[in-house]
A and B are shown apart, each in its own frame.
Chain A
Amino acid sequence: GSGGFRKRKHDNFPHGQRKEEKENVNPPSALMTSFKSFQLELDTRHDKYERLVKLSRDITIESKRTIFLLHRFTSAPNGEEILNESEVKLDAVRRKIKQVAQELIGEDMYQFHRAISPGLQEYVEAVSFQYFIKTRSLISVEAINKQLIFTAEDREETTNMPSKCHDTEGQRWGLKVTPVDYLLGVADLTGELMRLCISSVGNGDIDTPFELSHFLRQIYDGFTFIGNTGPYEVSKKLYTLKQSLAKVENACYTLKVRGSEIPKHMLADVFSTKTELIDQEEGLP
């Protein structure tokens, strides 16, 4: 390629666009300059998204572990210890959520919602499970959000982007779990409660299943009340919820019918064969 040729071409094209901008001979055109800034903007956005996805995964994993831990609650002789341990774990999860909230300072949360939604749902599941074990009731979305308000102590070291709303945000900032995330988390909770019900029978605990069936029925009624007002995902969960409820109700039924006939120490055996049957049924399409 000869410089002279390029020059002649340049004269013919008053707008000065050239194909050869990569050679760095010519100063970048306005178009290239703006695309360079687009590159920066898109990369920043994608990086933030990736960081949030990673945080969300960590939140999911830690929340799942907390749930597993809480499942040991009924069988352990020292339940208090397990509750305390779960509290420690949830605190760790909240520290991760704090990082998420920091990433989102000055951003539109919904822009990155898809990145963090799975983690938040799992957190809702864990925290509501713990709350249920403690108080036998359902935690409200407001109570969850209250725990997700953070104060600024170490904001500067973890945020690697200067936040634009620095002044308006003040010292406290939080992350709000959306109603939909909350609902999906609660729907997952019912699955855990079903497992809790089955395992508590295994431990010879006859009262918990009845309590659970009552509680699950309330939640199920709540979900049917919402019906299809919510998004598609919520209605999808309703089906699984129904199955969980059926299992718990059947368990209670078995307890009621067979409980009077069979000596208490053998109940667990009877019951475990019964649940296997249910599980097999579920395996079918």
Chain B
Amino acid sequence: MSVSEMFAALQGALGQDQDIREEIRKVVQALEQTAREILTLLQGVHQGPGFQHIPKKCQKAREHFGTVRTQMESLKTKFPADQYYRFHEHWRFVLQRLVFLASFVVYLESETLVTREAVAEILGIEADRERGFHLDIEDYLSGVLTLASELARLAVNSVTAGDYSRPLRISTFINELDSGFRLLNLKNDSLRKRYDGLKYDVKKIEEVVYDLSIRGLNKEATAGGGGEK
């Protein structure tokens, strides 16, 4: 094979690669659009009247996740299944965003941390690499860290809205999350950088709890449960 033939073949391969990336980008854009819609919907909980409508908003958000599932289905068909990490960068951001949204919904509904399996199910993907398009563990953890900062904000706003018990529950939740992350040996990468922000969320929530307890505002809700902080 001559040199020019070799390079022509390589060019062909690279060109195909570009086509695949183009296709992926299109679907990812649609996913980003859906993610924005869900986010807008859930942002409503931060406003005063939003606190009464949490279940309804979660219900609506869950309907939107149906769209996400169809879009994920189409994303899966755009590239060979065994080359997930080759194109990972393209959907990494939106996937983290979706994990955050799903975990936020689950937290608002049940005040628990969504498991990786449950998130994968909500998004219509697999939790395990062996079985196809999956949720990378680092993406899952990143999404969970975004949830932490959102909850810090929610703690502040729920006080404004007159819900004095919620910050205490958020505090316990966040503290456990923090001890969970402490178990991990993170490398010096983007996940580690995100994790470094967690302590500020913890601090913020503890301040809210402190403000409530020195004013005795947590008494009626939890009988001093958060007072020690």
Please give the residue numbers on chain A whose beta carbons come within 8 Å of chain B beta carbons, in ascending order: 5, 9, 12-13, 15, 17-19, 21-22, 29-32, 34-36, 38-39, 41-43, 45-46, 108-111, 113, 137-138, 140-141, 164, 179-180, 182-183, 215, 218-219, 221-223, 225-226, 229-230
Contact = CB atoms under 8 A, between A and B. Distances in A.
Contact of B6 (A42, A111, A140): A140
A15 B85 CA distance: 37
15 contacts: A9-B225, A13-B225, A18-B176, A19-B172, A19-B175, A30-B115, A38-B137, A39-B184, A108-B84, A108-B129, A164-B130, A179-B13, A218-B2, A225-B4, A229-B11
B197 to A, nearest CB: 18
Best-buried of A21, A46, A225, A229 by chain B (most CB within 10 Å):
A229
A226 B11 contact: yes
Contacts of A42: 137-138, 184-186
A interface majority secondary structure: helix
Interface string B1-27: 111101110110111001000000000
Contact of A225 (B7, B82, B225, B228): B7
Instruction: Give me the 9 closest cross-chain CB pairs, A-B, nearest first.
Output: A222-B7, A35-B180, A110-B85, A111-B85, A110-B86, A218-B3, A17-B176, A12-B225, A229-B14
B223 A12 contact: yes
B116 interface: yes
Given A12-B225, A39-B185, A222-B7, 13 more contacts: A12-B222, A15-B111, A29-B176, A46-B185, A109-B85, A179-B10, A182-B10, A215-B3, A218-B3, A218-B4, A219-B3, A222-B6, A229-B18
B184 A15 contact: no
A31 B113 contact: yes
B116 A34 contact: yes
Nearest to A165: B130
A12 B226 CA distance: 10
B6 A138 contact: yes
Given A15-B112, A110-B83, A31 B180 contact: yes
B4 A222 contact: yes
B3 to A, nearest CB: 4
B181 interface: yes
Contact of A226 (B14, B111, B175, B228): B14
